[in-house]
Amino acid sequence: MASTDRRNFLKSIAVTAAAGVVSGCSSSNNAEKNSPAIPSQGKSVMGLTIPKMDVVRIGFIGVGERGSGHVKHYCHIDGVEIKAICDTNEIALDKSVEYVVSKNFPRPARYTGTEHSYREMLNRQDIDIIIISTPWAWHTPMCVETMESGKHAFVEVPAATTIEECWQLVNTAERTQKNCMMMENVCYGRDELMVLNMVRQGLFGDLLHGEAAYIHELRWQMKEIDSKTGSWRTYWHTKTNGNLYPTHGLGPVSQYMNINRGDRFDYLTSTSSPAIGRQAYAKREFAAEHERNQLKYIAGDMNTTLIKTKLGRSIMVQHDTTTPRPYSRHNYIQGINGVFAGFPNRIALENIPPAIATQYESEYQLKITEWRAAGSKGRQPKLQNFHRWDEDIAKWQAQFDHPMWLNMGQEAERNGGHGGMDFLMLWRMVYCLRNGEALDQDVYDAAAWSAIAPLSADSVTDRSNSKDIPDFTRGVWQSAKPLGIIA
């Protein structure tokens, strides 16, 4: 390992240890470890509402690849003030500070110098929320300190890397009565919002099964050595063999299934393929003596995890950031009336809603006429919609686009960020805060969705034996209301 990388790696371990947490590679197999260390020291924050904010005053920690995008978006959203920005990397920090100034807003205060400079920013009394976009090992410590400082925490995915960290988030949010939202932007994608709307309208019937994934070839990040994502993310492939990044696909499927609001994750089992692709890539792309060729990559290239929910449904979650292949989050949901599948979007239903059924009916009439004109030879066309995929998604969008997308989608697409989902999420967070409404994602979602990473690793190292998924809501999931369809 080159000395800077070794230093960074050791630093990241030290950070984790300093925060009193176990690094992601450790196993937490026993049930005791997966249960809350302490009973709630406050009350549930399910559906937490707080007094309306006139203006949302924001501080940022981490403005690298991701955080700088959040800063830019907030320069185009009404009702916010960017008060301060913190980053250990002064080049990244100044880029974001200057961007804000270039848009004619007051110059945000700068915090830098040490890895704990963010603490000075947290001491300020004129900030309401902190947006955290740092490497994974920092997420929970920074969220906890943010809430302790009287501010609301908004953190990038995943919110936590161990079960202990998940409980730290829940315990702190309940004690301080602060929001801790993991910013799962994919829940604000046009397709995902449409499917949520369709599920709520009962199009699929009772739900049975979902599939989620983060399949995204990211080997190229291994070439980011001194800064940027690959400079720290690469090492997770040497520490943990499991699903390193479960939440992008899983968040939306969890919302379809009312996870933590009527159902919850019960247990999982996980298995990994061999870990070969990164070693092969390093051999091909780096000199033999390069640090990337000295690392031992242990995260299986493809990890497959199966979650069972309390209502008996199943969810498959896959992770592969190594294999050269097209991107997918699966985005698959199956009920007793049929399925929606993503990447590419396809629908197959038995009972088609009336507005759309007429199109199926006329296609069918056309086929029957053609069949008769051809002498009624061969098999007679049948009106069995569910035997083929309908890939003409535009007509489904015309009927079922989510109201929030109808209201804000054009602006979201104009502003961009993964097709508009980033902008819509950031806009929605501020909307909720300014209108005194509960956020769409809470600390229980952050904990449950993030917990899949360490528990999948536990299962992989234990011959795929099942691992219980803690009830982070402490039973409240049974009475909590499902997420509504809001405009």
Ligand X SMILES: NC(=O)c1ccc[n+]([C@@H]2O[C@H](COP(=O)([O-])OP(=O)(O)OC[C@H]3O[C@@H](n4cnc5c(N)ncnc54)[C@H](O)[C@@H]3O)[C@@H](O)[C@H]2O)c1
Summarize as ranges the residues that interact with ligand X (CB under 6 A): 61-67, 86-89, 92, 115, 118, 133-136, 138, 156-157, 185, 228-229, 418
CA distance 81 to 233: 31
Count the Cβ atoms, other than its own, within 10 Å of residue 374. Answer: 9
CB of 408 to ligand X, least distance (A): 18
For ligand X, the closer of residues 113 and 403 by Cβ is: 113
Please, which residue, 385 or 441, has the CB nearer to ligand X? 441
- Contact between residue 329 and residue 343 where contact means Cβ atoms under 8 Å apart: yes
Residue closer to ligand X by CB (options 189, 335) is 189
Contact residues for 377 (Cβ-Cβ < 8 A; gap 6+): 371
Q: How far is the CB of 216 from ligand X (least distance, A)?
A: 10
Query: Minimal distance in Å, beta carbon 154 to ligand X?
Result: 12
Closest CB to ligand X among residues 421, 448? 421
Rounded to whole angstroms, the Cα distance separating 43 from 52 reads 20
Strand bridging mode 332-335 / 338-341: antiparallel
Q: Which residue of this chain has its Cβ atom nearest to ligand X in the complex?
A: 64
Identify which of residues 61 and 352 has a Cβ nearer to ligand X in the complex.
61
Nearer Cβ to ligand X, position 76 or 95? 95
Q: Which two tokens stand for residue 37?
A: 């260390």
Looking at beta carbons only, is 18 or 406 nearer to ligand X? 18
Which of 101, 167, 158 is CA-nearest to residue 134? 158
Provide, rounded to whole angstroms, the least separation between the CB of residue 322 and ligand X.
16
Q: Computed from CA positions of residues 272, 276, 282, 288, in that sequence, does the dihedral angle turn out positive or negative?
A: positive
Task: Give the tokens for residue 115.
Answer: 């890895």
The 10 Å CB-count burial string (b at 16+, else e) for 75-106 is bebeebebbbbbbbeeebbebbbebbeeeeee
Q: Which helix (H) or strand (E) element contains residue 438?
A: none
Measure Cα distances from 114 to 62, 86, 146, 149, 305 in Å.
13, 10, 17, 19, 38
* Closest distance to ligand X from the beta carbon of 203 (Å): 28
Sheet with 338-341, edge to edge strand ranges: 346-349, 338-341, 332-335, 207-215, 314-320, 303-309, 265-272, 467-468
Alpha-carbon distance of 142 to 158, in angstroms, equals 13
| Shortest Cβ 255–ligand X spacing (Å) | 16
DSSP state, 103?
T
CB 260 within 8 A of CB 445: yes
Give 88 or 254: the residue with its C-beta nearer to ligand X: 88
Smallest distance from ligand X to CB 62, Å = 3
Nearer to ligand X, 44 or 234 (CB): 234
Q: Give least dist CB 187 to ligand X, A.
A: 10
Long-range own/partner contacts, residues 431-436 (CB < 8 A, 24 or more apart): 433/50, 433/52, 433/53, 433/56, 433/128, 433/129, 433/152, 434/52, 434/53, 434/54, 434/55, 434/56, 434/79, 435/52, 436/49, 436/50, 436/51, 436/52
C-beta closer to ligand X: residue 138 or 396: 138
Give least dist CB 117 to ligand X, A. Answer: 6
As measured in angstroms, the least distance from the Cβ of 245 to ligand X is 7
